[in-house]
Amino acid sequence: MTNINVCNKCDLIVEHVILEKNKHAHCPRCNTLLYTNIIFSISTILALSLTGLFLVIIANIFPMFTITMLGVEESATLIQGAWALFEKNFYFVGLLVIFCSFIAPFLFLSCLVQVCLLLLTKRNTPQLILLLKLVNFFTEWSMLEVYLVSFLIAVFKLSDIADIKLQLGLLSFVSLMFISSLIMYGLNLELFWQKMEKNAKR
């Protein structure tokens, strides 16, 4: 293992130190995660990422909940919720909802799947470095937990005046949050960079 690390975001050279169990090393300049002693294999990350991709699609297609008020039943998906914000002229909030709940997770997981496949098949394409940097970028936009808490607070308030039934979309979203947390817990980008360098020498 090398004695130095280079931050993928700001290119700062940082001395490599041995970490205690369950510890993470961050860049002192931009606070980007450099490495951790918690390592999932590339195959494990690939399996989790594929599962996450499936869940992010299901979570955005199927209704999150069904609300019944005065005999009228309505279902809502994440996309419908964002569209409702657009109709109320809350354009920035609507875009933020779409980006954080669908675009960012989808792109993050898609890039991660491509990186894993390229590394496992030992194909160092010119796009690999860009994909690794995109993975690092989208890790900073993992805000599923914040969105879920906000959503549950809104549902709790509505439960006093309406009958609410949770649906497949919400179950998928909670599962996606769990999968994303697992990925973030075990993802070690240093392992990916080392694998890329090892493949390049062959």
Q: Binning pLDDT at 50, 70 and 90, where does residue 1 land?
A: very low
The residue-averaged pLDDT of 72-94 equals 80
62-82 confidence digits (pLDDT tens): 888 777 767 777 777 878 878
Alpha carbon of residue 97 to chain centroid:
14
Closest CA to 108 of 135, 144, 140, 141: 135
The residue-averaged pLDDT of 84-113 equals 86
The residue-averaged pLDDT of 85-104 equals 83
pLDDT for position 57: 92
The residue-averaged pLDDT of 108-129 equals 87
Which residues lie across from 65 on neighbouring strands?
76, 166
Say if pTM beats, i.e. exceeds, 0.75: no
135-163 confidence digits (pLDDT tens): 888 877 666 666 666 666 766 766 666 67
Q: Which range has the top average pLDDT, 45-54, 63-72, 85-94?
A: 45-54
Contact residues for 160 (Cβ-Cβ < 8 A; gap 6+)? none
User: Is residue 189 predicted with pLDDT exceeding 90?
Assistant: no
Q: How is residue 56 written in tokens?
A: 């992010």
Q: Do residues 183 and 48 make contact, with C-beta atoms less than 8 angstroms apart?
A: yes
pLDDT for position 151: 67
The residue-averaged pLDDT of 97-109 equals 86
User: Is residue 198 predicted with pLDDT exceeding 80?
Assistant: no
Task: Output the CA–CA distances (angstroms, integers) from residue 64 to 59, 60, 106, 195, 196, in the order listed.
Answer: 7, 8, 18, 40, 40
Distance CA 191, CA 39 (A): 8
User: Is residue 2 predicted with pLDDT exceeding 60?
Assistant: no
The residue-averaged pLDDT of 180-196 equals 79
Closest CA to 35 of 192, 200, 178: 192
Top-confidence residue, 113 or 79: 113
Residue 26: Cβ-neighbour burial (10 angstroms; 0-12, 13-18, 19+): middle
